């Protein structure tokens, strides 16, 4: 009987240098997309997929991230006194129950595989999810929830995948597809950031994974790979050889790369336009800005 996926790892130890100077004083994961920090989108997605235990792999300087999920008793009391039940309801979604969330330090920046490996004792012998908060995915059904349903059918390792332009394959882990079944593909191999002319496909892995406990055992043996880091891709590729149970999943939704400034701005526009309370005013502003730009040309 397959165990349910109830644990998720959130690797959030990065320095966020692409967003300096903002990230000099605040973790990148706390930067707001409309009115919620990036990490909240990942947490909400995990909750919708049935995740009960949240494991954050952090580093020095991430205390604001920990504070965000704590109860703000003084603020809550102030809102309660002023009858702001609407804002109290919003705050409630940011609170985590005692024991539901754990923080582990990654003392050296040795790659995504190493960050995941740092959580091995909390994961134990269970399947687990990995969510990269930089990848924000908008969809009618949350991406991880879709993947949990696929895992229930396959019982294997599932990685979220999407087609990217061939010219950008060197920026991703790329799947070598054995059999294309539509939304689901069986995988022959995975290559981390291949040269464009060596990429086996243009089907790229993005920041959502459901992994079996064997991946942790593989990470125990993995040595530094691409970029001198311990790559999660290498541990998954080893499992293809050992067990032939790795699948790529073309999720339904739109992915925004909020690890880049352009992607963050694109996500801001998309999420703002999806909000009934902001859509009309914001779309009018965009239309006016576009008209002014065209007139200037």
CA separation, residue 149 to residues 27, 237, 246 (Å)? 32, 22, 15
Domains of the chain by start residue, with CATH? 7-259 (3.90.550.10)
Of the candidates 168, 144, 137, the one whose C-alpha atom is nearest the C-alpha of residue 249 is 144
Statement: the pTM of the whole predicted model exceeds 0.85: yes
What is the C-alpha to C-alpha distance for residues 240 and 238, in angstroms, rounded to an integer? Answer: 5
Average pLDDT of every residue of the chain: 88
Q: Which helix (H) or strand (E) holds 31?
A: none
Going by pLDDT thresholds of 50, 70 and 90, the confidence category of residue 294 is: confident
Going by pLDDT thresholds of 50, 70 and 90, the confidence category of residue 271 is: very high
Note the Cα 82 to chain centre separation in Å: 36
φ/ψ of residue 215, rounded to 5: -65, -40
Question: Residue 187 in contact with residue 250, Cβ under 8 Å?
Answer: no
Pairing of strands 7-11, 53-58: parallel
Residues 6+ apart with CB under 8 A from 89: none
pLDDT tens for each residue of 81-108: 888 988 888 888 887 776 788 888 888 8
The 8-class DSSP code of residue 48 comes to H
pLDDT tens for each residue of 61-84: 778 878 888 778 888 889 888 889
Q: Which helix (H) or strand (E) holds 11?
A: strand 7-11
Side-chain half-sphere CA neighbours of 239 within 13 A: 23
Q: Which of 37-41, 94-98, 113-117, 249-253 has the lowest mean pLDDT?
A: 94-98
Going by pLDDT thresholds of 50, 70 and 90, the confidence category of residue 198 is: confident
Q: Which helix (H) or strand (E) holds 71?
A: none
């Amino acid at each position: 009987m397959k165990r349910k996926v109830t644990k998720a790892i959130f690797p959030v130890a990065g320095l966020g240098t692409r967003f300096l100077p903002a990230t000099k004083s605040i973790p990148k994961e706390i930067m707001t997309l409309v009115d919620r920090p990036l990490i909240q989108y990942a947490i909400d997605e995990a909750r919708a997929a049935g995740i009960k235990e949240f494991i954050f792999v952090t580093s020095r300087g991430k205390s604001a991230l920990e504070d965000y999920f704590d109860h703000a008793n003084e603020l809550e009391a102030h809102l309660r006194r002023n009858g702001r039940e609407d804002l109290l309801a919003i705050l409630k979604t940011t609170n985590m129950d005692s024991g539901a969330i754990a923080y582990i330090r990654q003392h050296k920046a040795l790659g995504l595989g190493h960050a995941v490996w740092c959580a091995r004792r909390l994961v134990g012998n269970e399947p687990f999810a990995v969510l990269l908060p930089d990848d924000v995915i908008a969809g009618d059904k949350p991406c991880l929830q879709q993947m949990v349903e696929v895992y229930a059918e396959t019982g294997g390792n599932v990685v979220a995948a999407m087609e990217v332009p061939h010219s950008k394959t060197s920026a991703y882990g790329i799947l070598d597809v054995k059999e294309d079944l539509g939304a689901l593909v069986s995988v022959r191999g995975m290559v981390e950031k291949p040269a464009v002319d060596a990429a086996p496909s243009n089907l790229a892995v993005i920041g959502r994974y459901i992994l079996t406990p064997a991946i942790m055992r593989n990470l125990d043996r993995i040595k530094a790979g691409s970029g001198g880091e311990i790559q999660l891709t290498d541990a998954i590729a080893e499992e293809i050889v050992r067990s032939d149970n790795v699948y790529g999943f073309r999720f339904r939704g739109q992915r925004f790369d909020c690890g880049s400034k352009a992607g963050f701005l694109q996500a801001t526009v998309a999420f703002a336009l999806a909000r009934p309370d902001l859509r009309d005013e914001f779309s009018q502003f965009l239309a006016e800005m576009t008209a002014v730009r065209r007139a200037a040309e």
